[in-house]
Amino acid sequence: MNETLGSYLKEQRERRGMSAVELSRVTRIPLASLEAIETDRFDELPGEVFARGFLKAYAQAIRLLPADVLARYTSSRRVVFVTPLPVQTPLHAAREGQGRRFGVAIAFVLLLILLSLALSIVLKPRGHDMPTELSHAGAPRLARTV
């Protein structure tokens, strides 16, 4: 079975008595793209995502399993989808390291500020900075006036 995917799809379409124009109308795939699919000119399609979408719609319209058609397409194209790992240049690594150091320095400064505020509240002398009316020394005088 050395027939190509395009010729297989065309044969299946014709077997179901569907014209290319009718298939184009049903699937909303441009006629030029259908002709490209049926003649195995997949590089003329707008892109890999469109090619796969067109094949799925084509398969559904002529009652084939989309997964089977997509598997045949992938094996015929021998396209390997690889997501490249991000490459980190020495300059980028240095900038990232500086960014971390800067963040640690800011966190350290904020921690020192919070610590100094906490210490100033805890170690603040009590009673010496109150008005005499509110201090303990002034309490008997208030009691006499009331």
127 in Cβ contact with 136 (< 8 Å): yes
Residue 90, Ramachandran bin (φ over 0: left; ψ between -120 and 50: alpha; else beta): alpha
For 1-146, strand residue ranges (E) read none
The answer to whether the beta carbons of residues 8 and 72 sit under 8 Å apart is: yes
> CA-CA distance, 135 to 19, in Å (whole number)?
101
pLDDT above 90 covers what percent of the chain?
51
Closest CA to 8 of 52, 59, 49, 81: 59
Instruction: Summarize pLDDT for 102-131 with one digit per residue, the tens.
Output: 888 899 999 999 999 888 888 876 666 666
79 phi-psi bin (left φ>0, alpha ψ -120 to 50, beta other) = beta
Q: What is the pLDDT of residue 5?
A: 93
Which pLDDT score is estimated for 15?
95
Residues 41-96 pLDDT 10s: 999 999 899 999 999 999 999 999 999 999 999 888 765 555 566 666 666 666 66
Of 10-14, 71-75, 132-136, which gets the smallest average pLDDT? 132-136
- pLDDT value at 133 more than 80: no
- What is residue 5's three-state secondary structure? helix
